Amino acid sequence: MNDVEVNKSLFLNAHNLSRPTIPLLRVKGISKRFGNVIALDDVSLDIYDGEIHALLGENGAGKTTLANILYGIYQPDSGYIELSGRKIKLGTPQDAISYGIVLVQQYPMLIDKMTVAENLALSIKDLGYLSSVRKIYGLIREISIKYDISLEPEMIVSNLSFSEKQYVELLRALILNAKILILDEPTTMLTTYERRKLFVILRKLIDEGRAVVLITHKVSEALEVSDRITVLRRGAVVSSRPKSEYDYNELVKLIMGSNVNDVTPVKYIHRQRSAPPEDVLVIKELNVANDIGLIAVRNVSLSVKAGEIVGIAGVSGNGQKELAEAIVGLRRVRSGRIVLSGVDVTNKEPYERIKNGLAYIPEDRLKYGIVGEMSVAENFILKNYKAFSKLLFINMRKVMDFASKNIDLYHIVTRSPLERAKVLSGGNIQKLIVSRELGLNTKVVLAHNPTLGLDIASAKLVHNELLNVRDRGAGILLISEDLDEVIKLSDRILVMYRGSIVYDVSRDKLSIGDIEKAMLGLLNA
């Protein structure tokens, strides 16, 4: 065989192409326990430069625990880590960064009142790097141009969307010149357009010789962008192979194991009604400002009927956050009205909304969804504790029974109902919130990205519960950057662009192409 034939053979076997014999990062026999819970069980995997390595698994599979060990946040109980063939000890995140390992966490760790540049200058200074805001300005603009990231240094973090905050963290990793970039569920808040844009950036990074570890629960995403896929189930590696050796169905089986039947498609039934039901949520000419006083919601009018799901689609940052916060009473209204179950609740306290039948699944689950220092059981009864009380005392046995029932129903992975809520994985926190809110005797549900961070089976469970609540007569306003979710669940679809409703269509008349154009402001262009 001549040299040309050898090179052709290597090209056809892409996963062997120019593969060094020693991986850039090797994880060997890593185990980690939290009390009686085994988070990681003898985990081994190899990460090579020039590759996107997807770490795939359901909620609670151990993905984030492994990321935290690689970043020096947790210490393993056993096992070791090698970098370019040499054992290293990662006692702190500073140690990891010194070796070129940077983690972009699922929840951006930023100071809301500071600018993008100030946040980056502060975080890098804390790591021992000399920096100034002026220097950071130049680096932000340089990196933003190189990787096509739309962020300005002077932007206030509180005005950024969730996905924009993730880009701030990505900028930080690039400023630190990460050799191994770990991304924990980076696409949970991204539209299809934004997700593809991120994937282009990741490809540029590996073309530069970096390694990317992409933590995800989305099978289609792993197959779309990765070069190698490792599947974790219940803390153990069940498979680690080049992407080309998998197909969708096999990956689902590997992730779910004996629970694979839990992910069969839901049969969504959208009912025809003989008589129009009452409006349970009415918004009239609503104007709402963002944190720096600029109008973020412009003259929005909409209504939601009993037994109806109204979905709002849109690219993150087009006023959805401010609209949701105004509806639940977390943000004041400049002008317009919010009428809930026939009662004008404009600029009234959140308690007034709850009293009139509003349930809320927030986008920011840590800030608005739970009290982290309280137990899982206590978080379950935050909004209906009186049902478990007699005089001044709470019946804790009744609370524990209620919590255990919901933990089993939603498959929430926790050591005990008495465990602090903040130690749950992101997906399990989301399931706690959803089960609590949908379990209330509610008339209106505001669900803002309700399946954020959930695996296939958990997302299906939430979708089923939303449809069940709708069928019991509640009205649901679904705000989601996941267009597939909006289309799948909604009886009527609206699109927000630059704070206004620019598209309104019933399910039977929708055009996906028109919705996507409206989301980008191109429908009437």
Look at residues 299, 294, 268 and name the one whose alpha carbon lies nearest to residue 283.
299
Determine contact, residues 247/70, Cβ cutoff 8 Å: no
* CA–centroid distance for 418 within its chain: 25
The pLDDT of residue 1 is 38
Give the amino acid at 239.
S
pLDDT 10s digits, 331-367: 999 999 999 999 999 999 998 999 899 999 998 888 8
Task: Read off the tokens for 520.
Answer: 């980008």
pLDDT 10s digits, 464-516: 999 999 999 999 999 998 888 899 999 999 999 999 999 999 988 988 888 88
For residue 269, pLDDT beyond 70? no
- Domain 3-100+178-257: which CATH class? alpha beta
Overall residue count recorded for the chain in this entry: 525
Please give the backbone phi and psi of residue 469, each rounded to the nearest 5 degrees, phi first. Answer: -65, -40
The pLDDT of residue 95 is 94
The pLDDT of residue 271 is 57
Look at residues 470, 496, 473, 474 and name the one whose alpha carbon lies nearest to residue 483.
496
| Rounded Cα–Cα distance for residues 3 and 11 (Å) | 12
3-state SS assignment for residue 31: strand
Task: Read off the tokens for 12.
Answer: 């056809």
Name residue 83's beta-bridge partners.
25, 86
How does 174-212 read in b/e, with b if 16+ C-beta sit within 10 Å?
A: bbbebbbbbbbbbbbbbbeebbebbbebbeebbeeebbb
| Rounded Cα–Cα distance for residues 180 and 26 (Å) | 12
Cα dihedral 380, 165, 457, 199, rounded to 10, equals: -170
Task: Read off the tokens for 354.
Answer: 């709850």
Whether the domain at 3-100+178-257 and the domain at 279-519 fall into the same CATH topology: yes
Determine contact, residues 76/65, Cβ cutoff 8 Å: no
How far are the Cα atoms of 101, 128, 131 from residue 125, in angstroms, in the given order? 17, 5, 6
The pLDDT of residue 240 is 94
DSSP label at residue 260:
G
How far are the Cα atoms of 384, 397, 452, 484, 506 from residue 389, in angstroms, in the given order? 9, 11, 32, 41, 44
| Rounded Cα–Cα distance for residues 362 and 304 (Å) | 18
| Rounded Cα–Cα distance for residues 434 and 436 (Å) | 5
Q: Alpha helix locations (H) across 127-161? A: 133-147
Q: Which residue has the higher pLDDT, 160 or 32?
A: 32
3-state SS assignment for residue 400: helix
Q: Is the pTM of this model over 0.75?
A: no
Fold (topology level) of 279-519: Rossmann fold (3.40.50)
- Domain-by-domain residue ranges, the chain? 3-100+178-257, 279-519
| Rounded Cα–Cα distance for residues 235 and 491 (Å) | 39
How far are the Cα atoms of 164, 286, 476, 504 from residue 301, in angstroms, in the given order? 27, 6, 16, 11
pLDDT 10s digits, 452-470: 777 778 888 899 999 999 9
The pLDDT of residue 129 is 58
Look at residues 166, 212, 207, 206 and name the one whose alpha carbon lies nearest to residue 190.
166
Residue with tokens 């289309």: 487
Looking at residues 275-280, what average pLDDT do you find? 80
| Rounded Cα–Cα distance for residues 465 and 455 (Å) | 15
Determine contact, residues 450/211, Cβ cutoff 8 Å: no
Q: Is the dihedral of CA 385, 387, 389, 392 positive or negative?
A: positive
Average pLDDT value over all residues in the chain: 86
pLDDT 10s digits, 81-92: 999 999 999 999
3-state SS assignment for residue 132: coil
- Where residue 280 falls (left for φ over 0; alpha for ψ -120 to 50; beta otherwise) is alpha
Determine contact, residues 197/169, Cβ cutoff 8 Å: no
